[in-house]
Amino acid sequence: MRSGTTVADLKQSFLDTLFCTLGRVPSAATPHDLYTALALSIRDRVLKQGVQTLETYHARDVRMVAYLSAEYLPGPHLANNLLNLGIWDQARQAVEEPGCDLDFLRQQEEEPGLGNGGLGRLASCFMDSMATLELPAVGYGLRYEFGIFDQAIRDGWQVEITDKWLRFGNPWEVVRPELTFEVKLGGYTEAWTDEQGRYRVRWIPQHVVQGIAYDTPILGYHVNTCNRMRLWKAEAVESFDFAAFNHGDYYRAVHDKMFSENITKVLYPNDEVIQGKNLRLEQQYFLVTCSLQDMLRVHRLLGRPLEKFHEKWAVQLNDTHPSIAIAELMRLLVDEYLLDWDTAWHVTRHTFAYTNHTLLPEALEKWPVAMLGALLPRHLEIIYEINRRFLGEVRAQFPGDEARVARMSLIDETGERYIRMAHVATVGSHHVNGVARLHSDLLKQTVLRDFAELWPEKFCNVTNGVTPRRFMAVANPPLAQLITRRIGDGWLKNLDELRRLESLADDAAFRQEWREVKLAAKRQLARCIAQHTGVTVDPTSLFDIQAKRIHEYKRQHLNALHILTLYLRLKRDPQADLPARTFIFAGKAAPGYFMAKLIIKLINSIADVVNRDPVVRDRLKVVFFPDFNVKNGQRICPAADLSEQISTAGKEASGTGNMKFALDGALTIGTLDGANIEIREEVGVFHARAKWPTSRLTDAGPMVPDGQPRRDPGVACSRLVRQRGSHLV
C-alpha cells in the first residue's frame, strides 16, 4: 500500500519507487537513487495527510495563518518525517532487508540552504510547531536555486562555494504549475476617473515575470495535521523569443528568461552595489505579491467578500523583508478589486502583524525613494498616501511636535530620501512584537519608541523558541530515549513535562547514564572533526562551543582572546590547574563582511599555533568546524559541555542557538542579553568559581522549559552560568 506503514508496506513501496519511478535496481542504484526512492515513499504517506488536512480546513472554514518569510532553514526532511509519522524503526527494517542502511541514506539528503541562520531556522521551527499544535498555516517563501553558500576554509580564510542543493532535484517538493501569478516590475502609472466617478490608477509595467508555486509538506508530530511551505520560483512569461532568434539575435531570444529567473537565483545577493540592492527589493516584492495573490485566490474561491479578508487570513511578517506587503495588499484591494481606500486600509491593518528581529540600524531596511519608485512606482504613491494620512494622525495626537512627525514619518528626509520599511510595517500592522522580553522592551524604548507612545496596545513580546523534535529526538536520540524511559514521551509536545527530571537530579544512576550519553555525542563529534578538519580532539575534554553566524556583536573575537589568555597562562605555568578544553567554533561570515571573515582567519591562526604547541597540546585545542548548517548543527549541539552566548548586551535580539545547546544539556556561558535572561530566570543561576572540579562542569543538571502559552515551548536548559566577565575561567 502506498500509504501503509508496516515494514512490508514500506519495503514494497521503497522497491516499487526504485523500479518504477527511478528505473533502477538495487544493485545498480547510486546512494542518491536509494535515498530518493525512500524519500518519495515517505512523501506519499505525508502527502496523504496533507490532502486530508486541506479537506478538514475547507470543511471547517478555518482562519489561516500565512507566515511570510524571506528565509527558511528546514533542515533535512527525511528523519523529521520518520519521527513525526512514528515509523522510524519500521523504515530502518524496511530498507535493511534489501541491504541498505537508513543512517547512510539519511546522509545523502541535500539540505535546503534557504536562509542565513537563526531567522530562517526560527521560521521552520514555527512551521513545525504550528503543524504539531494543529494550527492551520501556510509558510510562504522563495525557492532560491542557489541557497546560502557552502563554506570551505583555505589557509584559514573562508571561501564561498556555490550551494547547488537542487542539482539532484528535491523529492520533497511538488510543483504546482497551475498556481502561477503575474509579477509587474518597473514602468509607470496612469491615473483616470472611471464611469462611476472613482479615482483609478493603472500600473503600466516595464517587465512582467511570473511566479510558480512549489509545495513542501510540513507534518506535525504524531498528529494528523500536515501544513505546507509554499515557495515561489520566478520564470519568464515567454521563455524564448523566436522572432529575435530568427533574426540571429540569440542573446535577445533568451534575455527575458535570464532576467526573470535571476530573481530567485540566489539567496540574498550582495547588496553593496546598486544591482544587488535592486535585486533584493525585487525578491521581496516577488515574494509578497505571489503570496497575497494566492491568498486572494483562495478567498474568492470560498466565495468570501474581500471586505472580510482579514477574518480569513492572519499574515505574519517575519522581520522587515516582506514589509512591502503592506503597500501591495493596498494596491491589490484598491486598484485590482476596487475597494475604497478606508475599507482597504481597515482590512490591511487587521490582516498583518509584524515581528521585528533586530535593533541594529543597518538591519532595519531602508530603500532609496528613487530606487523603489523606479521598480515599484505604484507602491511609492501608496506609501506616500499612507504617510500623509498617518502623519495627520500623529499631528492630531501631538500638536506642534514636528520633530516627532519627522522621526515617525515613513520617509527619512535627513539626507538622501529613504523609505523606512520598519515604519511601514509598524503602521500597517495591528500588532508588533519583539523576540525576547529585553528586546521587546528596548524596541519600545529606542527604535520604535514614538510608535509605542502612540499605540502602546499594539506592542507585545513573543520570545523565540526551538522545536525539541528536531534538536533532541532527531539530533540526539540517546538523550531523548533516556528522558523518555524516565518520564514518558509527553515532553516532546510539552516541554513542561521536563520539570519531572528535577526529581532525578540526585539519582546517581540517572546522572551516570546522562554522562554516558554526553560522552557518546562528544565521541561522534570528535570523529566528524577529524574527518572534516584533520584535527584530533579528546572527547573527555570540555567541549566549549560557539556556533552561530560570525558577527562583531556576537563576539567570537572575545572568545578568541580568552583562548589566548588560557594559552599564555599554560605557557607560563604548564602545571596550572586548568581542565583540558576543546574550543569549537562554527559559523559563516557574510561574503561582503570583511571583519567577520577576518575573525574566522584569527580563530584559525590561533588554532594553528595552539594545536602545534607540545606544551599545551593535551590541555587546549581549537577547532573551526566548516559549513555550519542544520545538519552539522545536529552533530554539534548534542556534544556541547559549554555553550558560548556572549553577545554585546542589547545587541542579540533573542538567540535560538542558546536554546538548542541548552536543550541538549550544555551549560550556558552568557551575557545578560536576549533570551539568555529568560532562560536564566527560569532555570536559576550556577555561580562559577575560579577552580571548579571538572566533574561538576560536565554534570548536566535538570532541564526545564519556558512554558509560554499557546506556543510549542522550546526554551529549556540545564544550568546557566553567570560570572563577572564573559567566560568561565
Q: Would you call 660 a catalytic residue per the annotation?
A: yes
Quick check: 106 and 80 in contact, CB under 8 A?
no
Q: Which residue has the cell 523529521?
A: 80
Rounded distance, CA 394 to CA 383, Å?
16
Asked if residue 281 is part of any domain, the answer here is: no
Rounded distance, CA 234 to CA 214, Å?
11
pTM value is 0.91
Residue 456 CB-half CA count within 13 A: 2
Nearest of 426, 449, 463, 409 to residue 319 by alpha carbon: 426
Which residues in the chain show pLDDT less than 50? 689-729
Q: Which residues contact 264 (CB under 8 A, 6 or more apart)?
A: 142, 143, 144, 145, 232, 233, 234, 283, 286
Phi/psi of residue 644, nearest 5 degrees: -90, 115
Full residue range of the structural domain in which residue 660 is found: 468-722
Coil, strand, or helix at residue 707?
A: coil
Q: Give the total residue count for the chain.
A: 729
Q: Would you call 257 a catalytic residue per the annotation?
A: no
Rounded distance, CA 559 to CA 260, Å?
44
Quick check: 222 and 197 in contact, CB under 8 A?
no
Element (H, E) at 659: helix 657-663
Rounded distance, CA 208 to CA 225, Å?
37
Q: Which residue has the cell 582567519?
A: 601
Using alpha carbons only, give the angle 672, 678, 682 rounded to the nearest 5 degrees. 120
* Grid cell in block for residue 563: 583562548
Residue type, 173: E
Phi/psi of residue 442, nearest 5 degrees: -65, -35
Asked if residue 586 is part of any domain, the answer here is: yes
What local confidence, expressed as pLDDT, does residue 93 receive? Answer: 96
Residue type, 311: E
Quick check: 283 and 142 in contact, CB under 8 A?
yes
What local confidence, expressed as pLDDT, does residue 254 receive? Answer: 54
Structural domain count, the chain: 1
Rounded distance, CA 334 to CA 203, Å?
12
Each residue's pLDDT tens digit, 224-283: 999 999 999 999 987 655 555 555 655 555 566 777 889 999 887 655 556 678 999 999
Rounded distance, CA 285 to CA 293, Å?
12
The sign of the torsion formed by the CA atoms of 666, 670, 674, 679 equals positive
Helix pair 88-96, 31-60: axis angle to 10 deg: 150
Catalytic residue of the set 656, 668, 671, 698: 656
For residue 34, with 0-12 CB atoms within 10 Å meaning exposed, 13-18 middle and 19 or more buried, which class applies?
buried
Rounded distance, CA 372 to CA 281, Å?
8
Nearest of 208, 205, 188 to residue 263 by alpha carbon: 208
Nearest of 666, 628, 698 to residue 476 by alpha carbon: 666
Phi/psi of residue 299, nearest 5 degrees: -60, -45
Q: Would you call 617 a catalytic residue per the annotation?
A: no
Phi/psi of residue 216, nearest 5 degrees: -120, 125
Rounded distance, CA 196 to CA 421, Å?
34
User: Torsion over CA of 280, 281, 287 and 288, rounded to 10 degrees?
Assistant: 160
For residue 478, with 0-12 CB atoms within 10 Å meaning exposed, 13-18 middle and 19 or more buried, which class applies?
middle
- Residue 395: Cβ within 10 Å count: 14
Using alpha carbons only, give the angle 492, 498, 501 rounded to the nearest 5 degrees. 135
Using alpha carbons only, give the angle 318, 319, 320 rounded to the nearest 5 degrees. 125
Q: In the chain, what is the straight-line distance between the N-terminal and C-terminal CA atoms, in Å?
A: 59
Rounded distance, CA 543 to CA 600, Å?
19
Rounded distance, CA 547 to CA 471, Å?
14
Each residue's pLDDT tens digit, 296-343: 999 999 999 999 999 999 999 999 999 999 999 999 999 999 999 999
Catalytic residue of the set 548, 619, 635, 651: 548
Nearest of 457, 465, 455 to residue 435 by alpha carbon: 465
Q: Would you call 162 a catalytic residue per the annotation?
A: no
Q: Supply the CATH number for residue 547's domain.
A: 3.40.50.2000
Catalytic residue of the set 549, 619, 621, 680: 549
Coil, strand, or helix at residue 729?
A: coil
Q: Would you call 549 a catalytic residue per the annotation?
A: yes
What local confidence, expressed as pLDDT, does residue 684 receive? Answer: 77
Nearest of 289, 396, 302 to residue 332 by alpha carbon: 289
Asked if residue 414 is part of any domain, the answer here is: no
Asked if residue 309 is part of any domain, the answer here is: no
What local confidence, expressed as pLDDT, does residue 273 receive? Answer: 55
Asked if residue 450 is part of any domain, the answer here is: no
Asked if residue 219 is part of any domain, the answer here is: no
Rounded distance, CA 531 to CA 366, Å?
44
Alpha-carbon distance values, 184 to 9, 282, 285, 375 (Å): 48, 10, 9, 9
Asked if residue 604 is part of any domain, the answer here is: yes
Catalytic residue of the set 554, 555, 562, 597: 554
Asked if residue 639 is part of any domain, the answer here is: yes
What local confidence, expressed as pLDDT, does residue 618 receive? Answer: 85
Catalytic residue of the set 660, 719, 722, 727: 660
Catalytic residue of the set 228, 233, 331, 357: 357
Q: Would you call 565 a catalytic residue per the annotation?
A: no
Q: Which residues contact 704 (CB under 8 A, 6 or more apart)?
A: 495, 498, 499, 501, 502, 682, 683, 716, 717
